[in-house]
Amino acid sequence: MPYFYLYDSYLQDRASANQLIRLESTLTDLGIQGKIGRLTLLKSVRDLVEAAVRDGADTVVAVGNDTTLSRVAEVLAKHKTVTLGFVPLGQDKQNIAKLLGIPVGLLACHVLSSRIVEQISLGKVNNQFFIQSIVGQGTPLIECENQNRIYKLNLTTPHDIKVCNLDQADNIEQGFVNPQSDSLETILQPIVKKHWWQMNKSQASLPSFIPTKTLKISSGSDEMLLTVDGYKVIKTPVTITVASEHLKIIVGKKRLF
């Protein structure tokens, strides 16, 4: 069962060197060692992962953070037979690990070794895959399609807009976002501006939660910026759908879905 490990570029500093040595040692002990690729300015995720799959890897493990995982998942979406693994290292951008039930650090190797594989949905925005969410801010026009019925959402005030496939723990625990469902969850949170004399008053406004299969976001003459999976910025108009492709991913027993 050939493994391929892709190290993110931020793990090249001296502080991470010892951790990577211990990681490789642990993987060897567990019998799941494999080839290693390191992201650099000259080597893209796509190049490394495509080459590894061509060489016969059937499990590609992203070693890094949420962004590393998202970038690898985007490439693997078209490789149905390849399973995605994740070893979260470092402290920044580690939200997905908790959802997948994977501990941050070297203990993640034991989750890889246990190899519990689940299939999760992927989102598609203008024909690009995403695994986590799309985030924006403003008052765009949103058109939803669900069960072949179309409705429009007009926002009366600026909102934080989030279209989720696999999102932060709080939402999943509330039962709002399930990456194994065939729908995306749109969360619209009104932006409440507080003045200093209102700081002690609670101004929590009820957010909207709308499950949809297809979503079109447009913003008239002004272009609105949307951030995909926390690292890629695109402009409206966009069409967001649930992808027909699924992703096989190694998860822990403590996963939240």
CB closer to another protein, 211 vs 230: 211
> CB of residue 194 vs another protein: minimum separation in angstroms?
16
Residue from 18, 81, 91, 156 in contact with another protein (CB under 8 A) = 156
String of contacts with another protein for each residue 84-103, x by CB under 8 A: --------------------
Shortest CB 186 distance to another protein, Å: 10
| In contact, 179 and 165? CB cutoff 8 Å | yes
Report d(CA 167, CA 185) in Å as an integer. 9
3-state secondary structure (DSSP) of residue 55: coil
Q: Which of residues 162-221 bind another protein (CB under 8 A)?
A: 174-175, 188, 190, 205-211
Q: Is 88 exposed, middle or buried (0-12, 13-18, 19+ CB in 10 A)?
A: buried
CB burial of 102-132 (b: ≥16 within 10 Å; e: otherwise) equals bbebeebbebbeeeeebebbbbbbeeebbbb
CB of 30 to another protein, least distance (A): 40
- Measured in whole angstroms, the distance separating CA 210 from the mean position of its chain's CA atoms is 19
CB of 157 or CB of 198, closer to another protein: 157
Min CB(132)–another protein separation in Å: 21
Task: Candidates 159, 162, 216, 248: give the one binding another protein (CB under 8 A).
Answer: 159
Bridge partner list, 217: 142, 238
Q: Which is nearer to another protein, 146 or 239 (CB)?
A: 146
For another protein, the closer of residues 72 and 142 by Cβ is: 142
Distance, CA of 125 to CA of 42 (rounded, Å): 26
Distance between the two ends of the chain, CA-based, in angstroms?
27
Residue 74: CB minimum distance to another protein, A: 28
Closest to 244 in 3D by CA, of 123, 110, 72: 123
Going by the DSSP 8-state scheme, the letter that residue 126 receives in this structure is: T
Residue 233 · residue 137 · CB < 8 Å: no
Tell me if 152 contacts another protein by CB under 8 A: yes
Instruction: Specify the residue, 16 or 171, whose C-beta has the smaller distance to another protein.
Output: 171
Contact set for another protein, span 26-85 (CB under 8 A): none
Q: What count of residues does the chain have?
A: 257
CB-nearer residue toward another protein: 10 or 176:
176
Tell me the window of 7-15, 30-38, 52-60, 151-159 that interacts with another protein (CB under 8 A).
151-159
Dig out the tokens for 248 from the structure.
């096989």
- Restricted to residues 131-150, the positions that interact with another protein (CB under 8 A) are 146-147, 149-150
Nearest-approach distance from CB 172 to another protein, in angstroms: 12
* Residue ranges binding another protein (CB under 8 A): 146-147, 149-157, 159, 174-175, 188, 190, 205-211
